[in-house]
Amino acid sequence: MIDVDELSVSYGAVQALRGVSFQAETGKITAVLGANGAGKTTLLRTISGLKQPTSGTIHFDETPLTKTKPENIARLGVGHVPEGRGVISEFTVEENLRLGAMTAKVALAKGLAEQYELFPVLGERRKQHAAKLSGGERQMLAMSRALIAQPSVLLLDEPSLGLAPLVTAQLMHTIRDLCNSKSLTVILVEQNASSALRIADHAVILYLGRVVANDTAATVVADENLRQYYLGVVE
Amino acid sequence: MDAFLTSRIITDILEGLTNGMIYGLVALSLVLIWRSTGVLNFAQGAMAMFSTYLGMIIFAHDLSYWPLVAIAVFMGFALGGTTERVLVRHLYGKPEINPIVVMVGFLIVLEAVAAAIWSSTPRGIPNPFSPIDWQLQGKPIALSAFSVYEIVTALVVMTAVAVLFRFTKLGLQLRAAALAPEVSRLLGVRVSRMLTLGWILSTGVGTIAAVLVASNFFTGLNPQLMDSIFAFGFIAAAIGGLDSPVGAVVAGVILGIGLQFVGDFINSNAIILTALIILIVSLMVRPSGVFTRNTARRV
């Protein structure tokens, strides 16, 4: 479980998060939704240690994560797929995966075989440079690179960004399957609220750095006002 | 065949190749630091010279050549790592001119300190390789046991660096830390350690070049040992592309051979002038280096 308590983060004079609290339960998908500038990316960057909070705490089960270096948080089993995917274009597909597998406890060959089974297209293109992949393939590679480390928590930052609706739907489906089969704890940051809510168990809505809703995904979907005011979902 | 091997052209090529391998090694060491930390290390030659002194002088009376070489290279690792931690670490993210000024200053300090402690008189380093050119039917061929030693050592070091970067887990982390530090940290790579390691490796490679130059009977170990060689190595790195280890090595070898022809057929005073003209022209035509691949990056 990831327990975020009264978290505040600022960039100089700009406060990005103001007293954010929520819990992401083990084996569940928690969607973090909100418009541009709501503080979603900052939240993930603070959980994985890239940004230090001004106040508040984050715990992974019983372990405090604040003041821990990002590389050590990664080694604790927190995988972060950053916005824009962070695939290393100069590396081949396989080199990206080998880098991801560096901290894994299973043998490299086994890890690779598992990922190529999960994402066959990566197996077909394993010798190609990541720069040659399509947007969807890059997203798969970024996810796969995080998964090969066998994380227990997966932080996903806007995985649907720039993807066609059909590809997004497939991706969300994959995330749900992974969460179920490996009992992964997923924090899914999305601007595309409707596709995230389709697979999420829980939803947190951020608005200008504050939590304005923190409930089950079903409740959030049913709440007309939340959808209209904060998520821009109009039917 | 023998007449061909002792001809003027082949002689120039062989002599140029021997020099060029050393330029290539120095260029490679510059590329290693540039790629891992984005610092153009003007003190590279001086650091290599200083490590060679540390390794070769202190125990010179007690040990034979090979242990001394090992100590010198170890001193190179130590000096590289310490310099990164103490001097360079605070300069990351600052304007590019800052580390350049600091490293030029460090170059001057190291040369002055070396001259103050060990004097500027060249010292011969006894080694098992004869510098006398071999002969074919009474005519000298531009190869000696020593020049073969230089070429083979350079090739071994270059191959070792290539294998390290291409095929090992550590090399993968070194490359990743240089290309994408933040993403690497998210994957558990200890980026800060990788930066130090980049300097350790690079200074080690530079020191091997300095040991080879100092071991040369006609040069000897002296505080200005690496000045001109650093300049040629730097030019080779700039021509080959600071991002390209292969380019740096190839450019070093071509530069060595080309300049040998200039010295032989034109005038030895024209060597440095030609090198600078090559540098200026290549920077005008291909500012990022001749061997750098212009990969279009998608966002």
- The pLDDT tens digits of the residues spanning B178-220 come to 889 999 999 999 999 999 999 999 999 999 999 999 999 888 9
Alpha helices (H) in B128-180, listed in sequence order: 145-167, 169-179
Q: With beta carbons less than 8 A apart as the criterion, state whether A193 and A161 touch.
A: no
Q: Are A178 and A215 in a shared domain?
A: yes
How far apart, in Å, do the first and last CA atoms of chain B sit?
57
Q: Are A225 and A162 in a shared domain?
A: yes
- The pLDDT tens digits of the residues spanning A20-35 come to 999 999 999 999 999 8
CA distance A223 to B20: 73
Q: Are A92 and A177 in a shared domain?
A: no
Tokens of B30: 């510059």
Total number of domains in chain A = 2
Task: Kindly state whether A145 is in contact with chain B, defined as any CB-CB distance less than 8 angstroms.
Answer: yes
Nearest-by-CA chain B residue for A134: B298
- The pLDDT tens digits of the residues spanning B82-130 come to 999 999 998 888 888 899 999 999 999 999 999 999 999 999 998 999 9
Tokens of B16: 């140029």
The answer to whether residue B155 scores a pLDDT higher than 80 is yes
The answer to whether residue A163 scores a pLDDT higher than 90 is no
- SS3 (DSSP) at B42: coil
CB nearest to B189's CB, from A71, A79, A145: A71
The answer to whether residue B151 scores a pLDDT higher than 80 is yes
Crossing angle of helices B169-179 and B145-167, rounded to 10°: 80
| Chain B residues touching chain A at CB-CB below 8 Å | 169, 172-173, 175-176, 179-180, 182-191, 295-299
| B235 contacts: CB under 8 Å, gap ≥ 6 | B255, B275, B276, B278, B279
Q: Are A232 and A157 in a shared domain?
A: yes
- SS3 (DSSP) at B142: coil
Alpha helices (H) in B58-96, listed in sequence order: 65-83
Nearest-by-CA chain A residue for B298: A131
Nearest to A74 by CA among A129, A138, A147, A136: A147
- The pLDDT tens digits of the residues spanning A4-17 come to 999 999 998 899 99
| Residues A131, B175: C-beta atoms closer than 8 Å | no
Q: Are A235 and A159 in a shared domain?
A: yes
What is the percentage of chain A residues whose pLDDT exceeds 90?
72
Nearest-by-CA chain A residue for B296: A131
What is the percentage of chain A residues whose pLDDT exceeds 70?
98
| Residues A75, B188: C-beta atoms closer than 8 Å | yes
Q: How confident is the model at residue A73 (pLDDT cuts 50, 70, 90)?
A: very high
- The pLDDT tens digits of the residues spanning A117-139 come to 999 999 999 999 999 999 889 99
Residues 182-201 of A with CB under 8 A from B: none
Asked which of A92, A125, A150 is the last residue of a domain, the reply is A150
Q: With beta carbons less than 8 A apart as the criterion, state whether A203 and A217 touch.
A: yes
CB nearest to A102's CB, from B182, B187, B298: B187
Q: Are A44 and A98 in a shared domain?
A: no
CB nearest to A131's CB, from B169, B187, B295: B295
Which residues span the domain enclosing A1?
1-77+152-235
Asked which of A93, A124, A150 is the last residue of a domain, the reply is A150
Nearest-by-CA chain B residue for A44: B186
In angstroms, the separation between the Cα of residue B181 and the nearest Cα of chain A is 10
Asked which of A93, A123, A150 is the last residue of a domain, the reply is A150
Q: Are A128 and A157 in a shared domain?
A: no
Nearest to A94 by CA among A63, A129, A50, A43: A129
